[in-house]
Amino acid sequence: MERRRLGRTGPEVSAIGLGCMGMSDFYGPADEGESVATIHAALDAGIDLIDTGDFYGMGHNEMLIGRALKGRRDKTVLSVKFGAQRGPRGEWYGFDARPAAVKTFAAYSLKRLGTDCIDIYRPARLDPNVPIEETAGAVADLIKAGHVRHLGLSEVSAETARRAHAITPVCDLQIEYALVTRMVERRILPALRELGVGVTAYGVLSRGLISNATVAGETTERPFFPRFVGENLKRNEALVKKLAEIAAGRGLSVAQLAIAWVLGRGTDIVPLVGARRRERLSETLGALDVTLSADELAAIDAVAPDGAIAGTRYAAPQMDMLDSEKA
């Protein structure tokens, strides 16, 4: 397994991370036994970066990971997001990144995960009511106390990353980055490289849009995601089919092409892939051995230049919450 370091101050991790959100939330029912087996298969393959959020399934995801990592915690790097407020039925109530809340969230996460330290702890979004300096300071306190090892960020602007980094070193920014989602390249990625902050890229398959199912015309509408609705979905299906033709020229699936593309954007970038089953994990691992040629990269750019995807990555209310989109 290729290894990459998350920023100048962060941990060394596998070149691909496992995002576990779908094992508990948002993508329909998941089989817990298969989820645990997939986490174990990832660890056996050398993937040690495991990403979760305390609000995925209202704590279910952390408890699932805690069970899966019994006896293997020392082989993993745990990345945990915090701050989203949810109700018993999964409803959303906003975001809380006040220092006291940060420390409370951490206490509960440590208990659910069955560990005494979280490797990377990050606010899932910028709280508009709390200066990032206060949130970063709370994580810095947790680091000093030995409950957290590194501060991470998620979906923030270059300026917000600078302000947090001035309080305590930021090891990485988690942000959506894919061959169809490239806004990070304009201002955020150059600033992160100046600061020495790495990237963990989620959404590399655009929530399953870049998939064999889309190529086969089997993708259904998902009303909460504009890229999966109406004419947007039709246009995006055509785009993915063109990408699949490029992938076929190398004997790859379109998903493997997309993962290989992100892997090739720099050794400071680690894609997170949300495999829920072992077969999908196996497909993901196949991308590690792929280096795309200049001609292939040019072909991808011709088919999917920046802005070619139809629809925003979230619905309007969620887009308004993204500090990264205000940069």
- Per the CB < 8 A criterion, the answer to whether 272 and 51 are in contact is yes
Q: Which residue has the tokens 């699949």?
A: 244
| 3-class secondary-structure state, position 106 | helix
Q: Letter for the amino acid at 19?
A: G
| Ramachandran category for residue 315: left, alpha or beta (phi over 0 → left; psi -120 to 50 → alpha) | beta
Query: CB of 127 within 8 A of CB of 96?
Result: yes
Instruction: Give yes or no: 56 in active site.
Output: yes
Q: Which of 27, 56, 121, 202 is catalytic?
A: 56
Task: Map residue 247 onto helix, strand or coil.
Answer: helix
d(CA 39, CA 134): 34
* Beta carbons within 8 Å of 13's beta carbon, 6+ residues apart: 3, 4, 5, 6, 48, 49, 77, 270
CA angle 86, 87, 91 (to 5 degrees): 70
How many Å apart are CA 290 and CA 263, to the nearest integer?
Answer: 9
The terminus-to-terminus CA distance of the chain in angstroms comes to 35
173 forms beta bridges with 153, 199
Alpha helices in the chain (DSSP H): 32-44, 60-68, 99-113, 132-144, 158-167, 188-195, 212-215, 230-248, 254-263, 278-285, 294-303, 316-320
Nearest 5°: the CA angle 268, 273, 276 is 160
Point out the residues that are catalytic: 56
